[in-house]
Amino acid sequence: MLIVRFTDQFRLEKPSIVTIGTFDGVHLGHGQIMSRLKSLKKQTGYQTVVLTFEPHPRTVLFPDQQDLKLLTTTEEKLTLLERAGVDVTVVYPFTKIFAAMDSDQYLRRILVSSLNVKHLVIGYDHRFGNNRAGNIDTLKTFAEELGYSIEEISAHDIDQITISSTKIRKALEEGRLSLANEFLGHPYTLEGTVIRGKQLGRTIGYPTANVEVSESLKLIPGNGVYFVSVTTSGSGYFGMMNIGTNPTTDNDGLRKIEVHLFDFNGDLYGKRVTVQLLSRIRDELTFTSLDTLKQAIANDELIARKWMTTAP
């Protein structure tokens, strides 16, 4: 997949089928759109293009809102779009200047001149340009003059996508991982760097890697113990992950992400890790002693290792 991030001077020479959106999570609803792009590619021979934005438009248009949490970072989104078979993804810088661009200029400069659009797959509620004045009717008005056709995603399909994204976020926050993964169509993923922690885990036989997620808007699932797969330095491992405040041993109230890798010996400090959340084992609990904590972790391991036999 070609990724375009330096958007000042670029033009796609091949004719394009274009869809536009934030595509947070690249979930099953989005997958229907990607399948339609691939179908159109077979019919027309045009390349498939996703136009998405960085940062998320809400952070620019509504900077005072603090409730936005993202299912995917830009890098995670790009990985999923490539996996979905997209030919080109353009990550356009979303700025106040871009948001204030006249609708006519947006169509001519971005869609036609830069993306070489010949067919547009777009939602009925798509808004663009200064004061978000451009809409599906604007696109239809200019279609013949600018030489593109339009396929409108119905209100029903758009609503399904919106509901799905909302349900995924809610399910993750409530620890309902199986439901979230079902809507996503793939395991929820966290990426981060391993930092030094209190190193208590190694004293009870379960050394953990403390993972720091650098993207502040990334949604961290609800507290609990999870069965996970971890990729680092090109190698993969199964393991267990705890998200929470460690109420048995810590009193700082800070949420932490700690991963124990099965059958691993090595130093992970400073390394990047990708963690896929496969199943949820239990809630985070407060134990009366380190011995009871260790016994609970041992039971978690038994459950996780049993699940390893059927994990993808």
- What is the spatial distance between Cα 145 and Cα 130, in angstroms, rounded to a whole number? 21
* Judgement on whether residues 144 and 114 belong to the same structural domain of the protein: yes
Domain boundary among 168, 199, 222: 168
- What is the spatial distance between Cα 280 and Cα 269, in angstroms, rounded to a whole number? 26
For residue 249, pLDDT beyond 80 = yes
* Judgement on whether residues 135 and 20 belong to the same structural domain of the protein: yes
For residue 159, pLDDT beyond 70 = no
Q: Is residue 182 part of a domain?
A: no
* Judgement on whether residues 208 and 124 belong to the same structural domain of the protein: no
For residue 110, pLDDT beyond 70 = yes
Q: Is residue 160 part of a domain?
A: yes
* Judgement on whether residues 99 and 11 belong to the same structural domain of the protein: yes
* Judgement on whether residues 7 and 104 belong to the same structural domain of the protein: yes
Mean pLDDT of 42-58: 96
Q: Residue 153: which CATH number? A: 3.40.50.620
β-pairing, 209-212 with 256-261?
antiparallel
* Judgement on whether residues 201 and 91 belong to the same structural domain of the protein: no
* Judgement on whether residues 26 and 141 belong to the same structural domain of the protein: yes
Q: Please tell me the pTM assigned to this model.
A: 0.91
Mean pLDDT of 54-69: 91
For residue 199, pLDDT beyond 70 = no
Cβ neighbours of residue 147 under 8 Å, at least 6 residues apart? 112, 118
157 or 172, which is more confident: 172
* Judgement on whether residues 137 and 17 belong to the same structural domain of the protein: yes
**If you average pLDDT over every residue of the chain, what do you get?**
92
DSSP H/E element including 237: strand 235-244
Q: Is residue 174 part of a domain?
A: no
Copy the structure tokens of residue 67.
């409730």
311 or 70, which is more confident: 70
For residue 200, pLDDT beyond 70 = no
Mean pLDDT of 115-124: 92
**Structural contact between residues 259 and 241, judged by C-beta atoms closer than 8 angstroms:** yes
For every residue of 30-68, DSSP letters joined together read HHHHHHHHHHHHHHH-PEEEEEEEES-HHHHH-TT----
Mean pLDDT of 115-122: 96
Copy the structure tokens of residue 180.
């979230």
231 or 247, which is more confident: 231
* Judgement on whether residues 115 and 257 belong to the same structural domain of the protein: no
In this predicted model, what pLDDT tens digit does every residue of 89-107 receive, in sequence order? Answer: 999 999 999 999 999 999 9
For residue 17, pLDDT beyond 70 = yes
What is the span of the domain harbouring residue 214?
188-308
Closest C-alpha among 169, 151, 168, 167 to residue 33: 151
* Judgement on whether residues 300 and 203 belong to the same structural domain of the protein: yes
The predicted structure's pLDDT at residue 114: 95
* Judgement on whether residues 164 and 206 belong to the same structural domain of the protein: no
The predicted structure's pLDDT at residue 206: 86
The predicted structure's pLDDT at residue 303: 97
Q: Is residue 179 part of a domain?
A: no
* Judgement on whether residues 23 and 104 belong to the same structural domain of the protein: yes
> Based on the structure, what is the number of domains in the chain?
2
For residue 173, pLDDT beyond 70 = yes
Q: Is the peptide bond before 55 cis (omega within 30 degrees of 0)?
A: yes
**Structural contact between residues 186 and 79, judged by C-beta atoms closer than 8 angstroms:** no
Helices (H), the chain: 28-44, 57-61, 74-83, 96-99, 103-105, 136-146, 155-173, 177-184, 290-308
- What is the spatial distance between Cα 309 and Cα 312, in angstroms, rounded to a whole number? 9
Q: Is residue 304 part of a domain?
A: yes
